[in-house]
Amino acid sequence: MNTAATTGLDLAGKVAVVTGATLRQLGVGIGGATARMMAGRGAKVVVADLEEDAAQALAEEIGAAGGEAIAQRLDLSDPGSIKALFERAVSAYGTVDILHNNAAAVLAKDTTLIDLEIDVWDAMFDINVRGYALASQHAVKLMLQNGGGAIVNTSSVSALGGDITRVAYGACKAAINALTIYTATQYGRQGIRCNAVCPGFTLSASAKGGITDNALEILGRHTLTPYLGTPEHLAEVVTFLASPAAAYITGQIISVDGGLLSHHPQTHDQLVAAGA
Ligand SMILES: NC(=O)c1ccc[n+]([C@@H]2O[C@H](COP(=O)([O-])OP(=O)(O)OC[C@H]3O[C@@H](n4cnc5c(N)ncnc54)[C@H](O)[C@@H]3O)[C@@H](O)[C@H]2O)c1
């Protein structure tokens, strides 16, 4: 059992597993920023991703900055690979206190309902839902031995508002929201908290690399904050939810979206201009 005393945002002595955590040429994503922040607050971090070299680069960067991290290749579609991740965490650091379930596959062929191929639906669910559930299962078993722990799942605003494409992605994220409340409900009394964050558009390395200026302008116009989100905005919330400072927060689905989904279409100015 990990007995290191922690208060507030301090994660000293805690062991965290963060999936989808890499450092690439364009920078970090949400998992990478979270791993950096958790290590900065004292956690020993296992960074895991399909792209092993990019995960290794992040672990080395954290180590060079004085933190503690190791990298592990993970394929969330493979139950054996998920098991190996938690075995590695235990052999390196003794247990797992925190899980940030964050990796995700976004397949180009995930489009509209009637165009969707069954293999694409199944592949998306294997990685983005079954993978999260299996990782949670391993983490919960270890946390039960420790007397508690915290899981934060990365969901999406795509679970809350429909889109003209990516129907499987949206359904996967809605399933992650359900997994979150069931995990919180079934293990809350044993000291395990589970919450989800729903990012709005976030300027992660991969999102930056794949978006047009026009799409950025549209997203900016529909976000209430005068800026778009960064991986660090998400990492702040995830790290808080994983910390003792959030001891009374569980079973929550928290949008971190700059208010993207919290308003009507903004027609007021146009109506006034039209004399309405
Ligand atoms: N960036 C956004 O605008 C945004 C918005 C809403 C939700 N999200 C969610 O945030 C999370 C992180 O996304 P990000 O934007 O930081 O991008 P990211 O590319 O940094 O993170 C996703 C990671 O998942 C990894 N991955 C893909 N398939 C995998 C597999 N089978 N096994 C293990 N790892 C695998 C990728 O290699 C990648 O490193 C995802 O769950 C994503 O759905 C992002």
- Alpha carbon 136 to chain centroid distance? 13
Mutational pocket test of ligand 1: of 156, 160, 165, 172, the residue with most ligand atoms within 8 Å of the beta carbon: 156
Residues 8-36 pLDDT 10s:
999 999 999 999 999 999 999 999 999 99
pLDDT-derived band of residue 141, with 50, 70 and 90 as boundaries? very high
Residues 50-78 pLDDT 10s:
999 999 999 999 999 999 999 999 999 99
- pLDDT value at residue 1: 46
Could you count the other beta carbons within 10 Å of the beta carbon of residue 214?
Answer: 8
- Alpha carbon 81 to chain centroid distance? 19
Beta carbons within 8 Å of 113's beta carbon, 6+ residues apart? 167
pLDDT at 2 over 60: no
- In the reported structure, the alpha carbon of residue 186 is separated from the centroid of ligand 1 by a whole-number distance in angstroms of 27
Q: What is the pTM of this model?
A: 0.96
Residue with tokens 């922040």: 37
Domains and CATH numbers, the chain: 15-261 (3.40.50.720)
Q: From the CB of 234, is ligand 1 less than 6 Å away? A: no
Residue with tokens 């991703």: 49
pLDDT at 88 over 90: yes
What does 134-189 look like in DSSP terms, one character per residue?
A: HHHHHHHHHHHHHT-EEEEEE--GGGTS--SS-HHHHHHHHHHHHHHHHHHHHHGG
Q: Counting atoms of ligand 1 from 1, which one is nearest the CA of 169?
A: 43
- In the reported structure, the alpha carbon of residue 91 is separated from the centroid of ligand 1 by a whole-number distance in angstroms of 26
